[in-house]
Amino acid sequence: MVKKCHPESADLHQFPVLAKLRLRLRCSPRRMITLYVATSNPGKLLDFAAAAEEEPGLVIVPLPRLEAIEPPAEDEATFEGNARAKAVYYSRFLPGEIVLADDSGLEVDSLEGEPGVRSARYASDAGFIGSPGTTTDQRNNLYLLTRLRGVSAGRRGGRYRCVLAAARDGKCLLTAEGVVEGEILSAPRGNGGFGYDPLFYLSEIGKTMAEIDLATKHGLSHRGRALGALLAAMSGLRL
């Protein structure tokens, strides 16, 4: 679902996939379009880079100097609300350019949509500490398993949802949504991905999100679908 609503280059040395992509597209005879994404999350950046590989003439790079910008509050009740707020806020730091921001997370049916917009802070919101040395993702996964203890396999359905917003000069241009359905396993599988990927099982391919390669993930993921919908809508507008 889609809704309407050359600055200093980003430092790409720490994002080799994006740097390689930008170099390739600079050599393309087609007009290059650069979109700036307001995230420093390595997993999300890899997702965006994989998506951009499928779009000739497109470059997606991190927003310049993002680490120096005070982040906005993410206190909206919906993914769309947070994505819009972030895109509008960050676009003011890069006049004239299109800035993307997303909000995404996991919704589990038997938990009435939890963790939802609190997916990244699920364990900390509940005061769940976990074992010493565990990462935020690991704690979130452990807390989710705790919440699902005793829930049978047939009642562990859920989905990843992503809303992606595009803004320019403090105004939201478009939003798009991507969803992928799956099941929550009782134990993690796979070493790839991030977030809840080791628990998110895709029955159609018999693997978790953490067990598939990046190209396959792009074709199936909520973030890839949201970006595809957004780009399709943008191609029909004079932006």
Quick one: pLDDT at residue 191?
A: 94
What lies within 8 Å, CB to CB, of 196 at 6+ separation is 106, 119, 137, 140, 141, 144, 160, 184, 209
Quick one: pLDDT at residue 4?
A: 65
The catalytically annotated residue of 11, 75, 102, 103 is 103
Low-confidence ranges of the chain (pLDDT < 50): 6-29
Quick one: pLDDT at residue 37?
A: 97
User: Are 14 and 40 a contacting pair, CB within 8 Å?
Assistant: no
CA dist 98 and 74 (Å) reads 20
What lies within 8 Å, CB to CB, of 55 at 6+ separation is 231
What lies within 8 Å, CB to CB, of 69 at 6+ separation is 63, 90, 93
Determine whether 213 is an active site residue: no
Nearest CA-CA partner of 227 in 107, 101, 117, 105: 101
Token output for 225: 């679908």
Domains in the chain and their CATH numbers? 2-235 (3.90.950.10)
User: Are 175 and 84 a contacting pair, CB within 8 Å?
Assistant: yes
* Mean predicted lDDT score pLDDT of the chain: 87
What count of other Cβ atoms lies within 10 Å of the Cβ of residue 54? Answer: 14
Quick one: pLDDT at residue 6?
A: 36
